[in-house]
Structure 1
Amino acid sequence: MAYDEIKWRKRFNYRSDITLTLTHLTRETKEMSSVEVLIKILNEQKIIGSSNSGFIHGSNTAVCFQDAPQYGVAQNINHEKTYREELGNKVRYSHNGLVFLKSYVFKKGGRPVIYEKLEVAKEMLHEDEWWRIVNYDLSNKENIIDWTHEREWRVKGDFEFSLSQPYIILGNTSDYNEFMNKAPEEVKNTIAGITSIVTLIK
């Protein structure tokens, strides 16, 4: 018997540490709140690829996702808040975002990143594929480089999607109210759903 999609999906029913979905978290800008950024993405049905200030290598941009269940995404958000100073004080993402089925992102070119020492990975891959590299180095106890807790996936360039595909996550009541007040009715009526992770965020 072939290992088909039905059997593949069933496997996830017996695991609490893996998921069928991928999460992209938004962040605020000088002009917009993270909820407004989320609404802009939904209106345009596109996530613009980013160079992410040095985290994405090579000349290509990419869109980043986390391959983690909701409680894992929430733990990553809490970690970012708690250890922001140690992480360089950079706000990389908020507690608001979009969630897509993993199979949908895969069909649009999304793949797990390659965790490896940067110089080793660059020898392995053509420069046009360097967007897939996440630096990983445990050799120096005084300078550990490890982002594997995010189980990151990336899509090269921009990520265009149908509005019916994502459901969204919102981190608190204020964000929910902002979304409901500002999002167009077409968006609210078309997206797959809304989930609050307020009980998981510290």
Structure 2
Amino acid sequence: MSKRIDSTRFIYHWIKAEPFEKIKETDYETAFDVLLNIIHDGAVKSGDPYKTGYKSCICFTESPEYFMHSDRSKYQPFGVKYLKDYIFSQGGRTVIYMPSREKNLLHDELLWRYMLHDPISISDERPFGVDFTWEREWRLPAEELSILDAYSIIVPDSSYIDRIIKITDRWLDENAHEEYIRSHGRLEEPDPGFQDYIDDIRLMLATPDRLF
């Protein structure tokens, strides 16, 4: 149980739609393709190190998942859900929101946690200044993080669960064919380790929680 409805014991690596077309069907497919790549690779990977002090980091948000039902940002309701305590134990920390003029106050070893925050820096392009605190961002200094260490894999609805099952069925068939070739026709079954991996992934599939 959480003390507040806007705080849970989980954090999330949500997938952005890039490019962001602001068309639900298009943006969903863009994010879905990225999620499939994550599942295929077996890991969530770090983003652009330029944004994180030239240190490889994986980014998360601690905003509860039921906010995704009304989110209008680039983030789509496709993502990977981890226990907050686990990410903390691996070295993950909240970002430090601060103006650029205070950045030099940070030790070099903490620059990967810096995030620009300057709500009074208003311009025509930024009428509300620079304020991304709504992301409630965490960062983990790592190049990749196993998806099997996650609590669940989130997709918008059950239709995407069905699609992932069909797609992974195809992966299993392709893997079985590869095993057939490697065994010179003696065996046409998926590698047991790969079969176990797909079984685990399927058990992790879930849709976003709702508050009410």
The two structures have a TM-score, normalised by structure 2, of 0.68
* Matched residues, number: 172
Report if aligned partners of 1:63, 1:155 keep a CA contact under 8 Å in 2.
yes
Matched, 1:23 2:33: no
Tell me the distance in 2 between the aligned counterparts of 1:73 and 1:154.
Answer: 20
Tell me the distance in 2 between the aligned counterparts of 1:51 and 1:164.
Answer: 23
Q: CA deviation at 1:188?
A: 4.7
Tell me the distance in 1 between the aligned counterparts of 2:198 and 2:207.
Answer: 15
Q: Structure 1 residues 198 and 173, CA, compared in 2 at 3 Å: closer, same or farther?
A: farther
Q: CA deviation at 1:26?
A: 2.2
15-24 vs 127-136, which deviates more? 127-136
Aligned position for 2:181: none
Q: CA deviation at 1:59?
A: 1.5
Find the partner of 1:154 among 117, 135, 139.
139
Which protein shows a greater Rg?
Answer: 2
150-159 vs 160-169, which deviates more? 160-169
Query: What SS class does the counterpart of residue 163 from structure 1 fall into?
Result: helix
Tell me the distance in 1 between the aligned counterparts of 2:69 and 2:61.
Answer: 11
Q: Percent identity?
A: 25
Query: What SS class does the counterpart of residue 72 from structure 2 fall into?
Result: helix
Aligned position for 2:72: 79
Alignment of 1:89-108 (within 5 A): 91=74, 93-108=75-90
> How well do the aligned residues superpose, as a CA RMSD in angstroms?
2.9
Alignment of 1:1-202 (within 5 A): 10=1, 12=2, 14-27=3-16, 33-51=30-48, 56-75=51-70, 78-80=71-73, 91=74, 93-120=75-102, 122-142=103-123, 143=126, 144-161=129-146, 163=148, 165-183=150-168, 186-191=196-201, 193-197=204-208
Residue by residue over 1:37-89, the C-alpha shift from the partner in whole angstroms, topping out at 9 and shown as x without a partner, is 3233234332211117x6x24211211101011112444xx221xxxxxxxxx
Give 1:195's aligned amino acid. Answer: A
The two structures have a TM-score, normalised by structure 1, of 0.71
Q: CA deviation at 1:164?
A: 5.1
Tell me the distance in 2 between the aligned counterparts of 1:28 and 1:114.
Answer: 25
Q: Structure 1 residues 60 and 68, CA, compared in 2 at 3 Å: closer, same or farther?
A: same
Aligned position for 1:85: none
Q: CA deviation at 1:110?
A: 0.6
Query: What SS class does the counterpart of residue 160 from structure 1 fall into?
Result: strand
Q: Of the two structures, which has the highest relative contact order with CA contacts closer than 8 Å and spacing of 6 or more?
A: 1
Q: Structure 1 residues 134 and 98, CA, compared in 2 at 3 Å: closer, same or farther?
A: same
When you count helix as a share of all residues, which structure comes out higher? 2
Tell me the distance in 2 between the aligned counterparts of 1:186 and 1:34.
Answer: 25
Query: What SS class does the counterpart of residue 94 from structure 1 fall into?
Result: strand
- Segments of structure 2 that go 5 or more residues without pairing to the other structure are 20-28, 173-194
Query: What SS class does the counterpart of residue 59 from structure 2 fall into?
Result: strand
